[in-house]
Structure formats: structure tokens, C-alpha cells
Structure 1
Amino acid sequence: MTSPHPFQPTLDFAFTISITLTKPHWITPTARGETRAAIYAAEGEVDGPLLKGRVIPMSGGDFPLTRPGGVIDFDARYLLEAEDGAVIYLENRGFRWARSEEIAQRMSRNEPVGFDDYYMRVTPRFDAPEGPHAWMSRHVFVGVAEKIPGANRIHYFVVR
């Protein structure tokens, strides 16, 4: 058995963001020859040991680009409001791809699939005001996302 690398980071669960999404608007094909969508964050909640609050309704959304081979390249930006009223800007980049063509078809029809049927990971950046949430603007996070019909649930971990 090998020991972990001495610089291997640890991950601490921070919070989960559950987002209800609007109906997508499609640009097919784009000038790049790929498909892009605009999907807005209708509402949502933030719940976890390090942050509680809500997604500010319609404060932004995701503009994913579907690349050849079915890889979805996320570019999401929206606002969070912490329980204390602080507004926090979230910028999320990441990827989603299905582990088979049949799963990809089910996901495109907005049908439920198992968590192990796809890869969906994000790397967020937060812009938080000075005060109790400033730590979010000084740490790296990773998110593991769940695609559920009409919504996303993203579990965020702070890298220590």
C-alpha cells in the first residue's frame, strides 16, 4: 500500500446548493458549430455547515456549451444571499458527460438517471463581501453535482 502524497489536500463539506432551473433556450448551432443553452436559476436554497441561505431568484444562470462527443461545458453565474443578508457572487465552471449514449438520451429528455451514470463536477469561485463570508473568496472549492429533472443539486467541498 502506498502512502498519500505529502501535499495531498483534504476536502471538507461546506454546503449544498439546490437550484430549480427554468426551461432552456437553445442556440443551435452557434457560430462555433456547437449547441449552447441559456438556463436561468429560478430559485434555490443553500444548506450546510458553513453557509445557509438562498439563491436569489433569476439573478443569473448557466450558459452550457455542448461539445462534440456529448461533453457539456458549464459556465454558470448567479447570486446567493446568506442568512445574514450578505450577497455572494458565484461563478461555476465544470463538465458533465454521460457514461453511455442511452444515459445521454435519457438525460436530454430530462428523465431521472442514477448518480453513477454520469460525471458532473464543477470548480466554483465566490466573490463574498468582507466579514463572516470573506473566507469563501480565499479558498478553492470543488463541487460534485446531481442532475435531477428540472434542477441541479451541487455539493461543495472546500479544499484545505
Structure 2
Amino acid sequence: MTAADCTLEHVFDIEVLFGADRHIFGPLPGGGSQGYTPAIGGTISGPRLSGRVVPHSGADYALVRDDGTIELSAHYMLEADDGTSIYIQNRGYLVRAAAGNTQPSYFRLTPYFRVPEGPHDWLSRTVIVGGGERRTDPDRSLFRYYALV
């Protein structure tokens, strides 16, 4: 194995619950529309991080492009089981599936973290990638994250 070789290590999963207060407006200059969906809570579980999504601490600010691709930009706060506050910014793409399919055909993202020095500061110096899945009843997204090692 060389320094350029990479592998993925599962680090944690997040379930983000969304509220009913959604807003979409547009069309925007240049096309598309802007969306806003508040995060009302959720959970974090996994081998390297456990905790919760802090209720009402942020939202998904999605750009819905004319080609059906959604550019994700979500910001919210996490709280580890030990009380550490963690800021997450999720950036990525969700591509809508063909009509009749409830799951997107592509839902991938790259999160960035801000975290104080301590047991979770590895988040602020590790490349992490993830995949998402949409669910309803209740309205939520499930994310699985992997560290690039």
C-alpha cells in the first residue's frame, strides 16, 4: 500500500428529522429554485461517534436545479454523548430517481466539521464522505459516513 492508496472506514450514521415548515421559492435568476427545510432533531450512532442532532439548530438550504439535481447545503449542530458541541456542514448532490421510485438515484455528500479540541477533534482533520437515503413517516434522511483512511 502506498501513501496514495485509500480505504473507507465506517465511522457513524446520522438520522435527521425534518419539520413540516418547508419553503421553496423561485425561479431564481439563471434557473432553479431555492429550498429551506428545518432540522428538528435526530440521532447519531456508530463506532466512532454517538449523540444527537440538536433540535432546531439548522436546516437544509437546497438549490433545486432545472435539470432535477439538488445541490445540498445543510448546516446544523450535533451533540456527542459526552456533551461536545459539533458543527456540521453537509454539501452534496441528490439526483431524483425516475417517476414512481421513492429513493433518489444518487444521494452523496461530503461533511465538514467544526469541533473543539478533545476526543472528537479527529472530525476536523479527516476527509469524510457519505451516502444518504430519504424516508417518510416521519420525514427524515438517513446518512452513513465513512472516513477516508
RMSD: 1.7
CA drift at 1:68:
1.9
Q: Choose the corresponding residue for 2:115, options 120, 128, 134.
A: 128
What secondary structure does 2:67 align onto?
helix
Matched residues in 2 for 1:97 and 1:50: separation? 29
The residue type equivalent to 1:39 in the other structure is: T
Between Structure 1 and Structure 2, the one with more helix by share is 1
Report the equivalent of 2:35.
37
Q: Which runs of 4+ in 1 moved over 3 A?
A: none
Q: Choose the corresponding residue for 2:7, options 7, 10, 34.
A: 10
What secondary structure does 2:35 align onto?
strand
Q: Choose the corresponding residue for 2:57, options 41, 59, 78.
A: 59
Report the equivalent of 1:147.
134
The residue type equivalent to 2:24 in the other structure is: W
Matched residues in 2 for 1:47 and 1:20: separation? 14
CA drift at 1:5:
8.5
Gaps of 5+ in 1: 107-112
- For these two proteins, the number of residue pairs brought into alignment is 146
Superposition map of 1:15-26 within 5 A: 15-23=12-20, 24-26=22-24
Report the equivalent of 2:67.
69
CA drift at 1:69:
1.1
CA drift at 1:29:
1.7
